[in-house]
């Protein structure tokens, strides 16, 4: 069994995968902003549901910068230098624990879901904030581990701002006074497509991915802005820079959870290969 934990800015989802790679159970709860309360909530669920069961790995996804199991910085949670790996140690005996950035994990799973693994894919989760995962040849690109696309600095509305400050789900709600699920105006969705395009226009010339995959809560509504977003990028990118295909994540809300699963499977296979 593999246990996957998707820690979001507002909610946390814990899921378990059986040997066939199918989800057996799910538990969701609001993400505590206090680190100790967060750890206590995780331990409570893990002990209640999985104590005494055979667990191969626990993988924890975090929306922030991770180094050696420590949350160095977290965009939508007030966490700094939070050693999650140490805090969770021994929660289910000797079960190994892996900590990784959520967007990278989501990018891993969504890239694996593609019919053909591209040379390079860019996964972008647009929800409370904006996170990015760069996947090269089907694996997280470790050379770009510290990349934070959501914090790319671009000019918008007359000032230089972080991309997520005006294009994230939170920013959309603040601007239009509605959640994405309640927005029906085509004009509004076209405006949202423009907002989202600004970050891509800065990132695409640098990374030149073969494909862009959009997930997260705003990814759920891809059909409302996706075609317009593609048109904007085609119109503004220089002729010598190919416009990548943009697609909706196969599992916009569960990409991170599946990414945790693939990450653990890769770890298991690596250990088998290396003896």
Query: Taking the model in full, what pTM does it have?
Result: 0.88
With residue 234 as reference, give the H or E element that holds it: helix 222-236
- The bridge status of strand 11-17 relative to strand 64-67 is unpaired
Residue 192's nearest CA partner among 204, 209, 208, 174 is 174
Sorting pLDDT into bands at 50, 70 and 90, what band is 47? very high
Residue 107's nearest CA partner among 92, 94, 117, 95 is 117
Sorting pLDDT into bands at 50, 70 and 90, what band is 9? confident
User: Which of 13-22, 147-156, 211-220, 264-273 is the least confident region?
Assistant: 264-273
pLDDT digits (tens, 9 = 90+) for 178-190: 999 999 999 999 9
Domain 2-101, what fold?
Answer: Nucleotidyltransferase; domain 5 (3.30.420)
* Domain boundaries, given as residue ranges, for the chain: 2-101, 114-248
Alpha-carbon span 117 to 114, nearest angstrom: 6
Q: Tell me the average pLDDT across 194-222.
A: 95
Q: Which pLDDT does position 275 carry in this prediction?
A: 61
* Superfamily name with CATH number, domain 114-248: ATPase, nucleotide binding domain (3.30.420.40)
In order of 19, 192, 195, the CA distances from 24 in angstroms are: 10, 36, 38
Report the chain's mean pLDDT, rounded to a whole number.
93
Q: Is 59 exposed, middle or buried (0-12, 13-18, 19+ CB in 10 A)?
A: buried
């Amino acid at each position: 069994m593999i246990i996957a934990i998707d820690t979001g800015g507002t909610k946390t989802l814990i899921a378990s995968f059986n040997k066939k790679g199918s989800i057996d159970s799910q538990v969701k709860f609001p993400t505590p902003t206090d680190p100790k309360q967060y750890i206590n909530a995780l331990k409570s669920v893990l002990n209640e549901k999985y104590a005494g069961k055979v667990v191969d790995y626990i993988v924890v996804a975090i929306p922030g910068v991770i180094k050696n199991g420590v949350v160095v910085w977290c965009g939508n949670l007030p966490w700094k230098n939070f050693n999650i790996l140490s805090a969770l140690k021994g929660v289910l005996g000797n079960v190994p624990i892996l900590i990784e950035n959520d967007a990278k994990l989501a990018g891993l799973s969504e890239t694996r879901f593609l019919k053909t693994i591209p040379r390079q894919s860019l996964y972008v989760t647009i929800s409370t904030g904006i996170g990015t995962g760069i996947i090269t040849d089907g694996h997280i690109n470790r050379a770009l581990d510290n990349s934070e696309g959501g914090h790319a600095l671009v000019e918008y509305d007359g000032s230089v701002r972080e991309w997520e400050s005006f294009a994230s789900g939170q920013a959309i709600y603040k601007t239009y006074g509605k959640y994405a699920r309640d927005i029906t105006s085509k004009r509004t969705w076209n405006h949202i497509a423009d907002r989202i395009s600004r970050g891509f226009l800065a990132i695409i010339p640098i990374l030149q991915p073969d494909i862009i995959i959009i997930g997260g809560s705003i990814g759920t509504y891809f059909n409302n802005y996706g075609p317009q977003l593609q048109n904007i990028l085609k119109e503004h990118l220089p002729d010598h820079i190919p416009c990548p295909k943009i697609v909706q994540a196969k599992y916009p809300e569960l990409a991170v959870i599946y990414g945790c699963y693939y990450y653990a499977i890769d770890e298991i296979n690596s250990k088998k290969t290396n003896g």
